[in-house]
Amino acid sequence: MSGAEKIAVRVTEVTPLNDLVTRFRFEPVDGGLLPTFSGGAHTVVEMQDGAITRLNPYSLMSDPFDQSAYTISVRRDDEGRGGSLFMHKSVSVGDEMVISNPVNLFSLDLRAKKHLMIAGGIGITPFLAQIKQLDRAHGNWELHYACRSQALGSYVDYLTDTHPNDVNVYYDDQDQAIDLENLTDRQPLGTHIYVCGPKGMINWVRAKSTDLGWPREAIHYEEFLAPQPGKPFEVKLAVSNKVIQVGEQESLLEAIERAGVDAPYLCRGGACGMCETRVIDYTGNFIHRDHWLEDDEHASGEKIMPCVSRFEGKTLVLDR
């Protein structure tokens, strides 16, 4: 890891919202104040899962000005490597955990004349904090939120109760869909669009707004990739002169850390660029999954983002 000190917190509430999503409330162990943050920020939560340390990023959803506690919402991913399952099954009120200082890779453009927010499923969480920030500044915003069903619509009641005129909810199982064409075609100059949700939704919103002539700088999106399991592989770390094994259920970054080698990171989701690592030598194929490197960089075999990308082959030597 690198940079700021971590924050020791105690879990003070665990609140199941529906079949998939549970909310966790963290308060500082020392009884002091947590740092304020900006809407859209995330924290990296450390999980001691037996011998394995998992580090997963979650959007902060509480009021950015509330220094007494942070809250996050975790969607259970039964197919994933187990971070969300650990949170759901093994974390309970009273537990002590360690989280990072807030980092924002999805921040509001405060120049915007209007903020148009598009959320899908658990992608609602960063918007909950952004809405609190904007309400305090009397900001102009509008939310369009797509959920699978009423039963799985986390925070729908809260949002529609508090902001009946600015929140629009769409249920997939009722065949309701965001009318994106009309929505993006009638926004005043100076509007910024923000989308957080599944990859398909992000691509859809980016493509549609680009087709209608929206500038790149006015389109903001956040998708945290969870590292995917894969075949084990061996890596040589040239600087620290170590050979490490990357297991099926761990990421390359986690394996590097497990070997005691310091690798910088911010998001652990392929977006921030911090853990970019130079490839010194390889024989085999990369499985690049990040949003950070350009296509030609992926093809070059010169760089890898160890937080989400993997390797299949005989030799991989990294500049770490």
Residues 6+ apart with CB under 8 A from 49: 82, 83, 86, 90
Told to check if 191 binds another protein by CB under 8 A, we report yes
**Contact present, 120 and 196 (Cβ < 8 Å):** yes
**Contact present, 25 and 110 (Cβ < 8 Å):** no
Tokens of 102: 């807030």
Told to check if 138 binds another protein by CB under 8 A, we report no
Candidates 13, 30, 96, 109; binder of another protein (CB under 8 A) is 109
At 297, is the secondary structure helix, strand, or coil? helix
- Span near another protein by CB under 8 A; candidates 103-111, 117-125, 142-150, 295-303: 103-111
* Contact mark string toward another protein, 276..315, x via CB under 8 A: ----------------------------------------
Please give the angle made by the CA atoms of 156, 160 and 165, to the nearest 5 degrees.
140
Q: According to CB under 8 A, which residues from 9 to 48 bind another protein?
A: 35-38, 40-41
Helix (H) or strand (E) holding 207: helix 199-211
**Contact present, 88 and 49 (Cβ < 8 Å):** no
Q: According to CB under 8 A, which residues from 248 to 267 bind another protein?
A: 264, 266
Candidates 89, 113, 231, 314; binder of another protein (CB under 8 A) is 113
Candidates 15, 150, 203, 210; binder of another protein (CB under 8 A) is 210
Rounded-to-integer distance, Cα 202 and Cα 237, Å: 35
Q: Tell me how far, at minimum, the Cβ of 116 lies from another protein, in Å.
A: 9
Nearest partner of 277 among 233, 308, 313, 241, judged by Cα: 308
Q: Tell me how far, at minimum, the Cβ of 264 lies from another protein, in Å.
A: 8
Candidates 50, 138, 189, 283; binder of another protein (CB under 8 A) is 189
**Contact present, 227 and 308 (Cβ < 8 Å):** yes
Question: Which residue's CB is nearer to another protein, number 89 or number 113?
Answer: 113
Q: Tell me how far, at minimum, the Cβ of 320 lies from another protein, in Å.
A: 18
Rounded-to-integer distance, Cα 236 and Cα 15, Å: 43
Candidates 213, 260, 283, 294; binder of another protein (CB under 8 A) is 213
Residues that bind another protein (CB under 8 A): 3-5, 35-38, 40-41, 64-65, 101-104, 107, 109-113, 133, 136-137, 184-191, 209-218, 264, 266, 272-274
